[in-house]
Amino acid sequence: MQVLKLGGSVLTRKGGYMELDQKNIDALAKMLGGAWKSGVRDFILIHGAGSFGHPLVLKYGLNDGIRTDAQKAGMALTHAACTCLSQALIDALVKNDVPAVTVPPISIGKLSDKRISKMDSGIVANLLSSGFLPVLHGDMMLDEKLGGAVCSGDQLVSYFGKGAERVILGTNVDGIIADGKVVPRITKANLSEILKHVKGSDTADVTGGMRGKLEELLRIGRPAYIANALHPERIEKLLRGEKSVCTLVE
């Protein structure tokens, strides 16, 4: 099984407020339709929330616990916004003959102090083995300690990536960049040097931008490829196990 993540930086206009990037969604859905038709079906899809998540979390103050009625309403609204984005992606995938089904994380799991403590991943495995493409997304989830909290798409990647053959993260840059160049490979040997170049995000990203992504990837212990999903063909190559422009994190 492979895990593919498409970042909110690609599916949405991340600097806006709940704005889709329909052109990118359509291009990626078309690519995935082609891959699916040719037999690449051994993966689950996780997507970020982009401008359907981060600005709402900031607006409603949802990042340090959910206690008041206003925060609960904000959490419900933010969850609904994330499912709206997911639905737009599903529509595009189904138009390209991919039988994609959203499994909202809030419905199958919970957090404890912002980390996943329970996830009924059986339904995800069943969908996959039955020939469907399970789609999960960054979401608001119940939290045993905090009432509720954000679960990033990147955390879902590290959770579901543990048993994966490979993990592919599509974002809006060519990989991890240091001194103006894409770093081809990150291992224990160069990690601390590379980390000096890795920051958050240029846009609102409450889940740590590139640094948050890298921290999650280091938890997996499986090969992870960070690539530019604004070039869908690069993602397709990686899904097929071929080489492409990217950063490999080992």
Ligand X SMILES: Nc1ncnc2c1ncn2[C@@H]1O[C@H](COP(=O)(O)OP(=O)(O)O)[C@@H](O)[C@H]1O
Q: Which amino acid is at 117?
A: S
In the bound complex, which residue of the shown chain has the CB atom lying closest to Mg ion?
205
Least distance to ligand X, CB of residue 8, Å: 4
Tokens representing 228 are 């530019």
Least distance to ligand X, CB of residue 155, Å: 11
Least distance to ligand X, CB of residue 131, Å: 28
Q: What angle do CA 230, 100, 214 make, to 5 degrees?
A: 45
Tokens representing 176 are 């991890």
Strand segments (E) across 191-242: 224-228
Report CA-CA distances (Å) from 208 to 17, 38, 77, 132. 19, 36, 22, 31
In the bound complex, which residue of the shown chain has the CB atom lying closest to ligand X?
7
Q: Binds 247, which of Mg ion, ligand X, none (CB < 5 to 8 A, cut-off by type)?
A: none
Between 24 and 102, name the residue whose CB sits nearer to ligand X: 24
Q: Binds 197, which of Mg ion, ligand X, none (CB < 5 to 8 A, cut-off by type)?
A: ligand X
Between 125 and 173, name the residue whose CB sits nearer to ligand X: 173
H-helix or E-strand containing 166? strand 166-171
Distance CA 116, CA 127 (A): 21
Between 155 and 171, name the residue whose CB sits nearer to ligand X: 171
Q: Binds 2, which of ligand X, Mg ion, none (CB < 5 to 8 A, cut-off by type)?
A: none
Kindly state the DSSP code that residue 30 receives in the 8-state scheme: H
Least distance to ligand X, CB of residue 214, Å: 9
Please tell me the total number of residues recorded for the chain in this structure.
250
Tokens representing 213 are 């992504």
Which residues here bind ligand X, judged by CB under 6 A? 7-9, 48, 50, 171-173, 176-177, 197-199, 201-203, 205, 209-210, 213
Is residue 234 within 8 A of residue 246, CB to CB? The reply is yes
Kindly state the DSSP code that residue 163 receives in the 8-state scheme: T
Between 170 and 232, name the residue whose CB sits nearer to Mg ion: 170
x/- map, 181-220, Mg ion, by CB under 5 A: ------------------------x---------------
Least distance to Mg ion, CB of residue 194, Å: 18
Least distance to Mg ion, CB of residue 174, Å: 16
Q: Tell me the helices (H) and strands (E) count for the chain, helix number first.
A: 10, 14
Between 121 and 155, name the residue whose CB sits nearer to Mg ion: 155
Between 108 and 195, name the residue whose CB sits nearer to ligand X: 195
SS3 164: coil
Query: Dihedral of the CA atoms 74, 20, 150, 43 (nearest 10)?
Result: 140
Q: How many amino acids of this chain bind Mg ion (CB under 5 A)?
A: 1
| Chain residues in the site for Mg ion (CB under 5 A) | 205
